[in-house]
Amino acid sequence: MTHRQSKVLRVGSLARVEGEGALHLILRAREVDQARLQIYEPPRFFEAFLRGRSYTEPPDITSRVCGICPIAYQLSACRAVEDACGVVVDGQLAALRRLLYCGEWIESQTLHIYLLHAPDFLGADSAIDLARTRRADVERGLRLKQAGNAILELLGGRAIHPVNVRLGGFHRVPAVSELRSLAERLRRARDDAEQTVRWVAGFDFPDAGCDNELLALAEPGTYAIESGTPTAMTAPSAAGLPADHDRALPTRTFGVRTFGEHVVETQVPHSTALHSLLDGRRHLTGSLARYAISGGRLSTIAVQAAQDAGLGDPREGVVCRNPFRSIIVRAVEVLYAVDEALRIIDAYEPPPHPYLDVPPRAATGHGATEAPRGLLYHRYTLDANGTLTDASLVPPTAQNQGAIEEDLRRLVEERLGSGEPTEAELTALCERAIRNHDPCISCSTHFLKLTVERS
């Protein structure tokens, strides 16, 4: 066996992602021997210290896993504990939860589109850099983001780690008049969201595809956000189709209570975040998965915007598997969330009481919701006094890690196949590929430094 001198390339930390990680590539000639996404965010041990806490505490405590999507944590926690206690929150309280979650989708997805992702397509280092040449676009993004925050601040008290969510509902529910003034702002935001879809649709998109299974919640008659049944779409590779196959493939569902039997977490030496597989195969959650599984259930305005943006008609089973185009899908989801928030506000009647009583009982409960970055699952076991004896949190980024690594491997191999890329080119390509998936590394535990080893 001959050993050629290996080459190690070190590149600075990956920026414009949430959290801290590194990427290690081992190249052998024109092939990628290994692509390892290293998440080295120090572990914070939430699952360990939740044991011994009261069953009323997970909504407040787990929101601190992630400052970017606290509502996702609060509502997955509520659903799981309520499931254990046999309580179902419905009617206007459920509608208000969905409204609050729409606020988080608008704020968080707009943050990703404008501040983290768009600079990649426009050759800028940051949105602040971008504002020098495209101030009106950046201002539109900040205004839209602010509209999402306005929902969070009214319904939740504040945008980061809101205080108003509790088991069974809310500490306080808003008056009709409070929501009416919010609606005026959201009508302006709907115009900004429509313009955002048009803006990102004009970017240049490389050809690419992902051949993972797709996993998202699905609900009859609506685009699943705060509840639903886990639904998996077959991978094109399993059907002998190319990675960028853009038609819907067969789906299967499983109850959220069996989530742990289907999505199995494993630990890898190179990351503090756990990896997971869906029935033994790589899978992807998030905007591309939701759009593939529930795109036909979007509102008329969102479907029309998707078609105008070149995504095809989701009602006819057209899906998007190009990770670069996920920015368009996110923009469509923001438009939907604004439209949906307005629909909920129009139909709002204050419920008779801000919350349902949730008495404790000895049981295990399961809850899953659609965080902006994908399906977030919580499981808690409590004793008869309501003390937690076990907790499990499965965030979207931990599920997506395998799919992101595969995406990196494919893109780098394609690039190696078409010439001799410089280190800077490879780094830029990998960083883009990772930002396409909007990894929230703080969730999965946290940040990114690229190392390339060539042999």
Partner 1 sequence: MTEEAGQDTGRPKLAVWKFASCDGCQLTLLDCEDELLGIADQLRISYFLEASSGPGPGPYDLSLVEGSVTTGQDVERIRYIREVSRRLVTIGACATAGGVQALRNYADVAEFRSVVYARPDYIQTLATSTPISAHVPVDFELRGCPIDRGQLIEVITAYLAGRTPDVPAHSVCFECKRRGTVCVTVAHGTPCLGPVTHAGCGALCPAYGRGCYGCFGPSGSTNFPAFVPLLRRDGMDTLDVVRVLRTFNTAAPEFDAASRKEQHG
Among residues 131, 243, 301, 429, the one that binds partner 1 under rule CB under 8 A: 131
Q: Which is nearer to partner 1, 232 or 391 (CB)?
A: 391
Q: Is residue 144 within 8 Å of 112, Cβ to Cβ?
A: no
Indicate the SS3 state at residue 284.
strand
Tokens encoding 285 = 């959650």
**Measured distance CA(395)–CA(399) in Å, rounded:** 7
Residue 149 within binding range of partner 1, rule CB under 8 A: yes
Residue 109 within binding range of partner 1, rule CB under 8 A: no
**Measured distance CA(314)–CA(297) in Å, rounded:** 8
Q: Is residue 222 within 8 Å of 95, Cβ to Cβ?
A: no
Q: How many CB atoms lie within 10 A of CB 206?
A: 13
- For 134, phi then psi, to 5°, come to -130, 55
Residue 157 within binding range of partner 1, rule CB under 8 A: yes
Q: Which residues pair with 453 in a beta bridge?
A: 8, 26
54-73: contacts with partner 1 (CB under 8 A): 54, 57, 60-61, 64-68, 70
Residue 18 within binding range of partner 1, rule CB under 8 A: yes
Among residues 7, 10, 30, 51, the one that binds partner 1 under rule CB under 8 A: 51
Residue 41 within binding range of partner 1, rule CB under 8 A: yes
Kindly list the strands in the beta sheet with 22-28, ordered across the sheet, starting from the edge strand earlier in the chain.
7-14, 448-454, 22-28, 31-38
DSSP β-ladder status, 165-166 and 263-266: unpaired
Residue 145 within binding range of partner 1, rule CB under 8 A: yes
Among residues 229, 354, 423, 451, the one that binds partner 1 under rule CB under 8 A: 354
Minimum distance of partner 1 from residue 317's CB (angstroms): 37
Single-letter code of the amino acid located at 124: A
Q: Which is nearer to partner 1, 48 or 175 (CB)?
A: 48
Q: Is residue 298 within 8 Å of 314, Cβ to Cβ?
A: yes
Single-letter code of the amino acid located at 286: G
**Measured distance CA(111)–CA(118) in Å, rounded:** 10
Residue 13 within binding range of partner 1, rule CB under 8 A: yes
Among residues 166, 361, 409, 454, the one that binds partner 1 under rule CB under 8 A: 166
Q: Which is nearer to partner 1, 152 or 292 (CB)?
A: 152
Residue 143 within binding range of partner 1, rule CB under 8 A: yes
Binding part of the chain for partner 1, among 7-15, 220-228, 238-246, 283-291 by CB under 8 A, reads 7-15
- Residue numbers of the site for partner 1 (CB under 8 A)? 12-20, 41-49, 51, 53-54, 57, 60-61, 64-68, 70, 111, 115, 119, 124-129, 131, 135, 138-139, 142-143, 145-146, 149, 157-161, 163-164, 166, 171-172, 266-267, 269, 272, 274, 354, 431, 442, 446-447
